[in-house]
Structure 1
Amino acid sequence: MQFYRRTLALPGVRTLLVLVFFARIPGTAAGMALTLHIAVTMDRGYGAAGTVGAVATIGIALGAPVLGRVVDRYGLRPMLVVTTIGEATFWVFARFMSYPMLLVCGFVGGLLVLPAMSIGRQAIAALVPEDLRRTAYSMDSVSTELSFMVGPAAAVLVSTQFSTQTALMAMAVGIVVVGCALYVVNPAVRSKAEKAAVEKVPRRVWLTPRLVGVLLVGAGAVFILAGTEVAIVAQMQHSGELSWTGVVVIVWSAGSAVGGLVYGALTRSYRQATLMAWLGVLTIPIGLAGGEWWWLMLALVPAAFLCAPTIAATGEEVARLAPPAARGEATGLQSSAFTLGAAAGAPLVGFVVDHASPGWGFAIAGIGGVLVAGLAWVLAARQKEEAPIVVSPDTVAAKH
């Protein structure tokens, strides 16, 4: 536990972890609140809700690197002002919008989503020395798991106990509170040494095949997680035990959190492609667990242990390979990779489940992850193991 004690003793780390945990809750609740409003209150069905979600996802994927670049050039606060006003405005007026308007504004709202995930990862890289980043990113992954347990449940609670219109307004209030809190605290996105030595680096210098491979691993990991979530629901419905789904998902998330804590206490890091390959391999046979719901729950545990470590290792490697001057854009690309992985995993596995069986859903999610891990290995093989980029005029000139 010495790594955790040392990390938590660093100035600003405890405040950051608490802040980003609460900052991520509105984002994790957004999809559920919007889905319930469109599918239930507007009576447009889940397909229509999924279409709006897909359009918003495209906006998020396109906007994240741009917002990161804004942080690199102008700092955190200007970006927070734009995204807080933009996203809160969407949620205030969403309850009055027709379905076609939601399609259009969902894309614009996605472009302006407040990037709480990216902010947390950037701040960790600035506050935590490299030898403790594995532990810090592991805690960040556990925090993310917890926020995903709280956010959707809160959206369902408000929507069912009050109304979906109330839930949408609560989203607007939550975004404003989060944006103001981040603005006041203004977590550092570069250390003092990095600010003093910062120098612009062309994208082709730092966006190497190895970093692209890391981003692919991030997309592949979330592909597995999104696909597994769909397959869990399908399996529980198929076995007639849908009421136990919440328990299964909670145990699955708890297993991931435990795995993240264990990974953060290790004395060495493991390659992201290796972790994700094992995550995929352990996901493939989950569908073989038949019988009662607790068999499925137990079958999920081995793969669950590798979920948070894989995400944590990806964040650690992005922070290592990206120069401080481009860290915002790099973490934005990481967020885009996560978003696209989820956007691909859920519908693909859903299609397989509809035309085959829930067991094949787990298999496809795992096989997809293994294939992406293999592609990441190929990209890494094209480039020798590299040290973190040292920004200097010679480094930049050598690439021109």
Structure 2
Amino acid sequence: MTQDSLSLMRHSTAHVLAAAVSKLYPHVKLGVGPAVEDGFYYDIFLPETITETDLSRIEQEMHGIIEAKVPFVRQEMSLEEAIRFFKDHKQDFKVELLNDLAQKGTTKAGAEVLEDVGDASAQASVYFTGDFVDLCRGPHVEDTGKIGAFKLTKVSGAYWRGNEKNPQMQRIYGVAFETQEAFDQHLVMVEEAKKRDHRKLGKELDLFHFSELVGPGLPLWTPRGTTVRNTLDEFVWRLRKQYGYEKVTIPHITKKDLYVTSGHWEKYKDDLFKITTREGHEFAMKPMNCPHHTQIYASSRRSYRDLPQRYAETTMVYRDEQTGELQGLTRVRCITQDDAHVFCRESQVKTEAFKIWNIIEAFYKPFGFALKVRLST
């Protein structure tokens, strides 16, 4: 099974999950249910809280739907017809998405929602799975019998469309694989990963801790943890030095003007920790280092002969993440970056890019990481 067909099967499993929940909880209001890495999820709105016991009941209902080999039947509707249909079924979140599609041409709710619902069109597609109907652009497997091994894993909170001003949904997660063998292998891997969970090891080895008084997402590094950090930092600095990088140091705050000039303020102002001085000046804790480093470069007039200029430092950046999104050291409000910026001529870009790759590869190789390159903008 290709990755695309596996993703399609997982998406279909999410719809079976929604069908099962709708049967057990007829008053449920459904959000979206995309495929994600290793599985799927579905966001639901219920007055009662879904428990581990409830997950078992939902799984049993899903197995019944799968064993019945119910076809996925696609039907096209006009947006107006679809809005009326989901209004009649009291599915407010679906109506909201359809209204956005009708009025704005997009849901503006992120790639996962667009993948599940669709983009600008005069038509909307729904899928019938027996008596259950869901808004979805598809495609799906032919029938529910084509769904492989799956398991519901957990329930967590999630704001509708990722906005804390919106209702709090319950997000039911699951994993799904083509065969029982692949599913079993995944479960073994998950159990092994639990033994190596950095949150567990951090506490057992006395590397870092969190304090309610300090605040969530702000790790406190112990002497042992700081020794590990310093050892890693010394290692990466030895690698950088081989390729001509120079240490720089920048402040952890900046005037608002820097981010207005760079364009970051308009895009990321809601994610910044902001400070207003007693004189009324607006500052922010730095969420990245790029604009500061550009100001070091811009501090002097430079000849092309001075290039490349390579600046690097290991420093902290700060982002106002939502409390519900914080998790161990993988999602925090205070991030340590070994960051670098290269100012060079166009003719030097290829050489400098390979040097960066060499540093990254040399750093991760001792830890057994196999790296892949993926470019983004």
Say which structure is richer in strand: 2
Max radius of gyration: which structure? 2
The TM-score with structure 2 as length reference comes to 0.25
| Larger relative helix fraction | 1
